[in-house]
Amino acid sequence: MHYSPKYMRITLLITYAVALLAPVLFAPLCAADADAGTDRMAQLEARLIAMEARLVTAEQVQPAASNVSEVRIAELESRLAEAEQETREVKALASIGGNASSSSIFGRGAALDIMVNSAWRKLRWTEPEQWEAVRPGVSVDAVIDALGKPPRSVISLKPRVDEVFFYETSLGDRSNSLSGKVSFRKGQVVKVQKPNFQQQTQAR
């Protein structure tokens, strides 16, 4: 589209006129808005002070007996703790998956999906502090309490070992996986091989 030079000159003149008149016309309106904002701020401050006063009063008054039982509170706290633990486990898995080798047959997203969907495995063993309770002499039940049921176990063919629990995130991708094992003899731990958490931390 093309405009003639005459038409363009008229448009410029109108624009200059509007620019000169605007401050004159709108200045009183802006002043009115500023006054309204100050008033509103003052009102808000007054409401806040009043709320604070009511809160102080409420805190000084003896609380009414709650109809929420202690059992219910304990149950909610337990559920919250479990949810927090699961969140930590999924984060741990995600951090491992984040380092998944590009050569893996699974893409990174697929690997994450698989690991997150494996949350039933009770992967608390991926937390280093969970291994502190696993020492020679402790029972099978104590190990399961600390680490969860193993993803893999075997009745050992070695003469001095009865059973071995394997805790592994991946067998195929050894460079990026966590792997630990616990050996038992007569129902007690005889050997512990903890996962190399330091290597995982450095890999991140």
Partner 1 sequence: MKNKIALTAAFFAASTLSFAEIALTENLSVGGFVDMSYQHADDDNNSIEANQPGNADSNNNNNYQVDQVEITFSLDYGVVTGQIDLQWTPNGNTQFDQAFTTYDLANGFVVTAGFYDSMLGFEAFEAPGLYQVSTAYTSGLTDAYSKTQANFTAVNIGNLITPQTNNGVKITYEDGTQFFGVSLQDGGFFGDNRLGGDSAGSNNAGALNQIVGVFGEQSGYAAEVAYARDLGNGFNVFVGLLMEETEVDQQVFNAQDIETSLDTTTLNGYVTYETGAWLFAAEVVQTEMEISGQQNDIEIDSFLLMANYTYSDQASVTARISNVDVDDYFDATKLTAAHLYAFTDNLALAVEISSVDYDYEAVGGIDGDTLEAAVELLFTF
Q: Rule CB under 8 A: which residues touch partner 1?
A: 120-121, 149-164, 183, 186-187
Residue 137 has phi, psi (to 5 degrees) of: 105, -20
Question: Do the beta carbons of residue 125 and residue 148 sit within 8 Å?
Answer: yes
The answer to whether 152 and 163 are in contact (CB under 8 A) is no
Closer CB to partner 1, 176 or 183, in the complex: 183
Smallest gap from residue 48 Cβ to partner 1 (A): 52
> Is 9 or 158 the residue whose CB approaches partner 1 more closely?
158
In whole angstroms, how close is the CB of 153 to partner 1 at the nearest point? 5
Residue (86 or 163) nearer to partner 1, CB: 163
The answer to whether 156 and 164 have CB atoms below 8 angstroms apart is yes
Which is nearer to partner 1, 183 or 200 (by Cβ)? 183
Distance CA 167, CA 144 (A): 11
State the DSSP string of 60-94: HSPPPPPSS-HHHHHHHHHHHHHHHHHHHHHHHHH
Residue 158: CB minimum distance to partner 1, A: 4
Distance CA 77, CA 83 (A): 10
For the CB of residue 161, give the shortest distance to partner 1 in the complex, in Å. 7
Between 159 and 172, CB nearer to partner 1? 159
Cβ-based nearer residue to partner 1, 99 or 179: 179
The alpha carbon dihedral of 6, 11, 16, 21 has a sign of positive
Q: How far is the CB of 148 from partner 1 (least distance, A)?
A: 10
**Residue at 176: amino acid letter:** N
Contact 167, 180 (CB under 8 A): yes
Q: Provide the 10 A C-beta neighbour count for residue 95.
A: 14
Minimum CB–partner distance for residue 152 and partner 1 (Å): 5
